[in-house]
Amino acid sequence: MPELRRDPIIGRWVIISTERGKRPTDFATVPVGKSTAFCPFCAGNETKTPPEVYSIRAPGTGKDTPGWRVRVVPNKFPALQIEGDLNRQGEGIYDKMNGIGAHEVIIETPDHEKSLGDLDEANISEVLLAWRERMIDLKRDGRFKYILIFKNHGEAAGASLEHSHTQLIAMPIIPKRVSEEIDNSRKYFEFKERCIFCDIVSQETADDVRVVAANEIFLAIEPFAPRFPFETWILPKSHEAAFEEIDRRGIDLLARLLKEILMRLDMALNRPPYNFILHTLPCQGDNRAWYHWHIELIPKLTKVAGFEWGSGFYINPTAPEEACKYLREIAITSLKR
């Protein structure tokens, strides 16, 4: 019997279609590999990008020259534009405003061959540090209501350049998905006087059937009502509203867990394309008591069709408990590269 499950945060129902149950090998993916075309993100090609706004680099090396380990540059083809004012206005019954924002690229490594999951924990820590520093800087701009960090890995997941990178978009609105999470976590808090994400952490830890991995600070789970097969969330075990308030120890433990999850997914699903998104507190407003930052990671295994687009109702052929079992059973020793 297929099962309908409701995401407790935004109220989205999904179908867990166990009779169509799929094992990892049923998803034919093209492993994400690398070509040899010219790449503006490679070391030595620093002049082919806009000037860097942040970098972590070897002592004595200059801005926009080699020697960096992580480098942040404005997107050459930004979706939003940094200069101007918002000019929000009506047009009959409609609303519009100028597309003001920042669109940056965090180049995660000078090495064209490596994906984020291939990097050493120390390198991943530096990537997370770059996310934090850019968020803190951009939050000072009063025009921005939200800063979204996300990654498209592999062409099927929407990556237009294959060299490993994360993107950051600072925007003058709170995106719809985050608004929904905030509205619903507030309603839960008003009723229960508890954070719903903290309650998820408690129940998942007790049930222990959807926990993929954990350490002192973080938990990685397959959520109860995932939209997609092998959808994985990482969240702090204690109540933390804003990612950018993470300390150095938090960064190191998050890097370790993120690497482990990426390696397990690479092994289980043959280096699949994936997307992940960091959901953190909006820049303004007082939602600290009920919001809890987290990362949502989605391997790109299925085609999203008209039914999902039109209904917001997802059919997921893999139960999260099954996905969790596969991911846990990967022998971690075989993951060393």
Q: How many CB atoms lie within 10 A of CB 293?
A: 20
Residue in the block written with tokens 């002592």: 59
- For residues 38 and 191, which CB has a smaller minimum distance to a second copy in the complex? 191
Residue whose tokens read 């995106």: 175
H-helix or E-strand containing 15? strand 13-16
Structural contact between residues 101 and 158, judged by C-beta atoms closer than 8 angstroms: no
> Shortest distance, CB of residue 4 to a second copy, whole angstroms?
5
Closer residue to a second copy (CB): 167 or 270? 167
Question: Of the two residues 48 and 88, which places its CB atom closer to a second copy in the complex?
Answer: 88
- The least distance separating a second copy from the CB of residue 244, rounded to whole angstroms, comes to 17
Assess contact for 278 and 150: CB atoms under 8 A: yes
C-beta atoms surrounding 123 within 10 Å = 19
The two three-digit tokens of residue 177, written as one number: 């998905």
Q: Which residues contact 88 (CB under 8 A, 6 or more apart)?
A: 95, 96, 97
CB of 277 to a second copy, least distance (A): 3
Residue 239 known to be catalytic: no
Nearer to a second copy, 2 or 285 (CB): 2
- Closest separation in Å from C-beta 167 to a second copy: 7
What residues have CB less than 8 Å from 261, skipping those under 6 apart? 212, 213, 220, 232, 234, 297, 327
Residue 315, strand partner residues: 15
Q: How far is CA 226 from CA 116, 167, 298, 311, 316, in A?
A: 23, 24, 10, 15, 7
Distance CA 61, CA 48 (A): 18
Q: Toward a second copy, which CB reaches closer, 267 or 297?
A: 297
Of 20 and 34, CB closest to a second copy: 20
> In whole angstroms, how close is the CB of 323 to a second copy at the nearest point?
16
Q: What angle do helix axes 248-269 and 320-329 make, rounded to 10 degrees? A: 100
The one catalytic residue in 103, 153, 163, 165 is: 165
Q: State how far the Cα of 301 lies from the Cα of 123, in Å rounded to an integer.
A: 27
Minimum CB distance to a second copy, residue 102 (Å): 13
Q: Which residues form the catalytic set? A: 165
